[in-house]
Amino acid sequence: MAIQVLCTGCGSRFAVSDKFAGKTGPCPKCKKPITIPASAVQAVTIHEPEPAAAAGPAGHGSTIPFRRVEKPIPAVAWAAIGAGVLVSLLAAWLTGFIFRPDTPPDWLLLAAAFTLAVPCVLLGYAAARERELEPYRGRSLWLRSLICAAVYAGLWAAKGMLPADATADMWQWIYLGPLFVVPGALAALATLDLDWGAAVAHFSFYVLFTALLRWLAGLPPL
């Protein structure tokens, strides 16, 4: 269980492990001291600031830093990720080989876009998430990832509705790119609490990987 925290200084919301109930620590955003209440909600921890004195000036509570413990991704998980990438590359090549000279049906492309989006969202979140916050886990992480993946796949579907001559040249993406990057980044920002730069990188990772698979399948990358 964890405790929901609201910083009165900057309005940021966090969730802290209940072992910190009743203690005081600095907000990771504005550094204003926050007194942790005793009601449990969900888990997110606060990043450890610069070393601080155990007790503040007279009239102020102590500022005890909350230590964040990082749990690295197990080697087995990395091996599974690598195997998944290789299987995806092989599947894309086989798909293009089976359907040549025709293109795969739209329903198959959309299903593949969503299926690939889920692991891309999860992997991208592990790499780009806000390190000052405890990561989402379990049902919450899966639900948020599925929503984000659905938006990402939907953007590929929207791209497929554009006329072929609208995306024939790469320079055209100077104007079209923001129409897809902004909604994609907003989806990552809203569902996974990423910073704007991390959200753009998160969506870009998915686009680049699926573009590579499309190229292997004999389709236009973008």
**Is residue 45 predicted with pLDDT exceeding 80?**
no
Q: Does residue 107 lie within any of the structural domains?
A: yes
The structural domain count of the chain equals 2
Average pLDDT over residues 107-111: 85
As a whole number of angstroms, the distance between CA 188 and CA 176 comes to 19
Last residue of a domain, one of 69, 95, 118: 69
Quick one: average pLDDT of 199-206?
Answer: 90
Question: Which one has a higher pLDDT value, 142 or 82?
Answer: 142
Is 222 inside a domain boundary?
Answer: no
Q: Are residues 103 and 208 in the same domain?
A: yes
pLDDT the model gives residue 128: 82
- pLDDT tens track for 14-41: 777 777 777 787 877 777 887 777 655 4
Judged by average pLDDT, the poorest of 80-94, 182-196, 198-212 is: 80-94
Helix (H, G, I), strand (E, B), or coil: what is residue 211? helix
Residues 6+ apart with CB under 8 A from 111: none
Whether the CB-CB separation of 26 and 63 falls below 8 Å is answered with: yes
Q: Is residue 132 included in any domain, yes or no? A: yes
Residues 183 and 84 in one domain: yes
Please state, rounded to an integer, the average pLDDT across all residues of the chain: 76
How does pLDDT run across 158-186, given as a tens digit for each residue?
888 888 777 777 777 788 888 888 999 99
Same domain, yes or no, for 41 and 83? no
Pair 77, 122: CB distance under 8 Å: no
221 in a structural domain: no
Q: Say yes or no: 45 and 86 in one domain.
A: no
pTM comes to 0.62
Asked whether residue 101 is domain-assigned, the answer is yes
For the chain, give the percent of residues with pLDDT over 70. 78
Coil/strand/helix, residue 8: coil
Domain that holds residue 184: 75-216
Q: Does position 204 have pLDDT exceeding 70, yes or no?
A: yes
pLDDT band of 47, cuts 50, 70, 90: very low
Distances (CA, A) of 159 to 9, 139, 147, 177, 222: 42, 30, 19, 10, 8
Whether 94 and 132 map to the same domain: the answer is: yes
Residues 154 and 184 in one domain: yes
Whether 156 and 199 map to the same domain: the answer is yes
